[in-house]
Amino acid sequence: MEIARDWRAGDRTITVTGHLPAGKERRRTLSVPDSARHTAEVLKQLLMDAGIANRDLLVRPAGAADRWKPRRQAEIRRPLPLLLAHANKPSDNLTAEMLLRHLGADAKGALGDVVSGHAVIRDHLASLGVTAHAYRLADGSGVSHYNLVSASLLVRLLADVHDRGDPARTLLAESLSVAGQDGTLATRMGGTAAEGVVRA
């Protein structure tokens, strides 16, 4: 059985083909074309499960007027280690995008968006002596082909985390996949010297 969506065409239709033996199941994670809408729908379902909201709660795109009048009706908190692990181990793009927006909201004191999130990243890179022409940012997950980041820049960022010591060092290390054990490396390098040692 195959579960697919034509993400290149921006199609939101999920197509399921083939068959499954009795008692078997097949799961596949697909990318979300409208991450803001998806996040709102997930929040709505969580609020409904908690008895805070019902199906009448309207989920709609934010208009220009809404942008300057944020209203906090409810919030759900998740610890940073859990969010980082959810972003890094399975390489979850939606979580990475939401973390970028949170960066902007937390540091810039405004609504979280890509622009404010990128401003925080640029400020940090500048503090490390990285010039603006040394990279290009297009999103928060790295999926866009318009992102340009060199290997030397990534090494500089890793060195910065290492030099900071704990909790930053441990926070990053524990969020990464472990060879032969979990995340995107669960089926890789098993039975080798890298198993249980390499994190990426």
- pLDDT (tens digit, 9 = 90+) per residue, 37-67? 888 888 889 988 988 888 888 777 665 455 5
Range 63-84 average pLDDT: 67
5, 15 Cβ separation under 8 angstroms = yes
Which of 72-76, 101-105, 119-123 is modeled with the greatest confidence?
119-123
Give the closest residue to 175 by CA, choosing from 66, 74, 88: 88
Q: Is the pLDDT reported for residue 182 higher than 80?
A: yes
| 8-state DSSP, 145 | T
Q: Is the pLDDT reported for residue 36 higher than 90?
A: no
Give the closest residue to 108 by CA, choosing from 94, 121, 93: 121
pLDDT at 74: 59
First to last CA, the chain: 30
pLDDT at 73: 57
Question: Mean pLDDT of all residues in the chain?
Answer: 85
pLDDT at 200: 92
Range 16-32 average pLDDT: 83
- Backbone φ, ψ for residue 16 (5° rounding): -115, 125
pTM, two decimals, is 0.64
pLDDT at 21: 86
Range 177-185 average pLDDT: 95
